[in-house]
Amino acid sequence: MTATSPSRLRRILGGWSASFLLLLLSLTQQILLIPLFLKYWSSDTLSAWLTIFAAGNLVLAADAGMHGWSLNRFFSFKSRPDCDRRTARYFGAAFQLLVRFTALAAILFLALTALIAPSRALGFATEARFDVAFVAMVLGSIFLLLGNLATALYRARGLYGRVANIQVLGVVAGQIGQIAGLVATGSLLVVVLAYVLAQAAATIYLIAVDVRRQFPFLVGARSRISWRWIVLQFTGAFPFAVMNFAEVGLGYLSVLLVGSLVSDRIAIAQWGLTRTIANLVRGLCFQLSLPLASELGHDHAIGARESLQRLYARGSAVLVLLAGVVTSGLLAFGQDFFAIWTHGAIPYDETLMIFLLLGTCVAVPAILALAYANYSNRGGILVRTKSLQLAMFVILSLVMIPRFGPLGAAIALVLSDLIAQSGFLSFAILGETLKYPVRYTLLLFTMMIAIVSAGTALGKLIAALVPGSGLTHFVVECAVWLSIVAIVSAPLALKDIRNRLINVLPT
């Protein structure tokens, strides 16, 4: 990244650092805590937790697109001489709208649960206090939406690392609370409350204290909002609402669909755990794409096309490199890890794992295209792409899940993602952004095939040569594999070699 300014590089690296912390905490939440949950809970209770967790994350995607729309509004103000004044007026008005929206969403949700008990609708009528835990998770997640406006402002002003660090503190406190509550009570409800309340406290600190410290011009900002202005905001935000639900919500919606269409509780837990592992690849690339997308959005807003092309080409190459390495490791050692992770209580489905991992890895180049489209106000292409993906997923799920179970959900997820996002959105964005989009796409997929094939073959060879079994065998084989990968990757630390590789990338 020789052409990247030092300040920009520091911002990106700072954002990546915070993103890695969030990813590690996601690993802790969705992987390391699972064996502990299985120690205190039955597989039925674990399935209930996975369903409730999915519902909470599904709510986080349902902010009516206000985060993406606000982010683009903040970007648009940056080219104006009165940027801070416009930002303050918009922030004050949009926050009022967000408060009203979340209050209405909470009321409608409570009314719905009064008519239909979540435990009956989702098949957990025998799980103690499921309804209360479900309601607590969803209401808490609705409250967390209030932080989206401040998060958008931080990202538009290059402070994405700071807001991510605040989120990290909330997640850490929540995980400590979950462990303490689980060990002390074994209660599903206590675990849910610990998860939600800690993150709610971080959100309160963000919107009540820190945002005004970082942006003093927000203090005392007041704006009146009219019905016409409200309609304009929701109209502008609609494409981002569709994008949010399709991107973040589909994976968790699949858990709910499998839970309602599959009667086998073991199969439900198997799908939730396998999807969690595969989703690590997507989560890694999504988190790393956010700092890049913020810088790309800035370049788009001020018309810096050459800088945008260089950053896009290099950023997507980094994402493919990391995704390929992670995927190859998961393919090589996934079965050993799954057995240790679940204590053998949940069977490993190799076909399901391979299909999800390869499908996710192939779709990685489209993640930066999606993030850039989101941060450059491409509402039209977003709503077309994500509407197509959502429709395909629902139709395929209703057809495939009753017939094939969790594998049907995987087919629906992967096909809808590849056809809509990789086949439509990614090529459209590449065609608008880069001079040689076809050449660049072929280079990325060649890199991906080489990395995944070599890494998986190396892992399988090491697994066959390392003696023993169980946790010791798994740790040793992973350590050997990581050591060899580090040695092979060491030349990238040399600036001259890195610059030569960068110059090979077509833009």
Residue of higher predicted confidence among 240 and 107: 107
- What does the pLDDT look like over 281-322, one tens digit per residue? 888 888 788 778 878 877 877 777 787 888 888 888 888 888
Whether pLDDT at 503 is above 70: no
Q: Which amino acid is at 138?
A: V
Task: Please tell me the pTM assigned to this model.
Answer: 0.75
Q: Which residue has the tokens 């918009």?
A: 90
Distance between CA atoms of residues 209 and 220, nearest Å: 13
**Separation CA 148–CA 395 (nearest Å):** 31
Share of the chain above pLDDT 90, in %: 24
Instruction: Compute the distance between CA of residue 162 and CA of residue 53 in angstroms, rounded to an integer.
Output: 26
DSSP state of 63: S
Could you count the other beta carbons within 10 Å of the beta carbon of residue 64? 22
Fill in the amino acid letter for 275: R
Contact (CB, 8 A) for 278 and 250: no
Does residue 163 contact residue 17 with C-beta atoms inside 8 Å? Answer: no
pLDDT at 90 over 50: yes
**Which tokens in the block code for residue 204?**
């309160």
- The answer to whether 163 and 213 have CB atoms below 8 angstroms apart is no
* pLDDT exceeds 70 at position 502: no
Fill in the amino acid letter for 203: T
Average pLDDT, the chain: 84
pLDDT at 249: 65
pLDDT at 501 over 80: no
For the residues 412-420, what does the mean pLDDT come to?
88
pLDDT band at 2 (very low <50, low <70, confident <90, very high): very low
Nearest to residue 160, comparing CAs of 225, 216, 206?
206
Residues 6+ apart with CB under 8 A from 78: 156, 298, 301, 302
Tens of pLDDT, residues 436-479: 888 888 888 898 999 999 999 999 999 888 887 788 888 899 89
Question: Burial of 431 by CB count in 10 Å (0-12 exposed, 13-18 middle, 19+ buried)?
Answer: exposed
* Both structure tokens of 297: 């959005």
**235: pLDDT strictly greater than 70:** yes
Beta strands in 274-315 (DSSP E): none
Tokens of 132: 């209360």
Give the model's pLDDT for residue 328: 92
Query: Nearest 5°: phi and psi at 470?
Result: 75, -155
Predicted pLDDT at 504 = 64
The pairs formed by 230-238 with CB atoms below 8 angstroms and a separation of 24 or more are 230/97, 233/66, 233/69, 233/94, 233/97, 234/64, 234/65, 236/69, 236/379, 237/64, 237/65, 237/66, 237/68, 237/69, 238/64, 238/65, 238/379, 238/383
Task: Give helix 406-416 / helix 265-302 axis angle, nearest 10°.
Answer: 10
More confident residue, 106 or 386: 106
pLDDT exceeds cutoff 60 at 183: yes
DSSP-based three-state secondary structure for 5: coil
Q: Which two tokens stand for residue 94?
A: 């949009």
User: What average pLDDT does this structure show over 382-398?
Assistant: 87
**What per-residue confidence (pLDDT) applies to 110?**
94
Taking the CB of residue 233, how many other CB atoms lie within 10 A of it? 23
pLDDT at position 3, please? 45
pLDDT at 1 over 50: no
Distances (CA, A) of 270 to 46, 321, 341, 342, 397: 11, 28, 12, 10, 17
Q: How far apart are CA 475 and CA 72, in angstroms?
A: 45
pLDDT, one tens digit per residue, over 10-54 is: 667 666 677 777 777 877 787 778 888 888 888 788 888 988 988
pLDDT at 372 over 60: yes
Angle, alpha carbons 171-176-177 (nearest 5°) = 95
- Read off φ and ψ for residue 402, nearest 5 degrees: -60, -25
User: Is 251 a residue whose pLDDT tops 70?
Assistant: no
The confidence score (pLDDT) of residue 222 equals 72
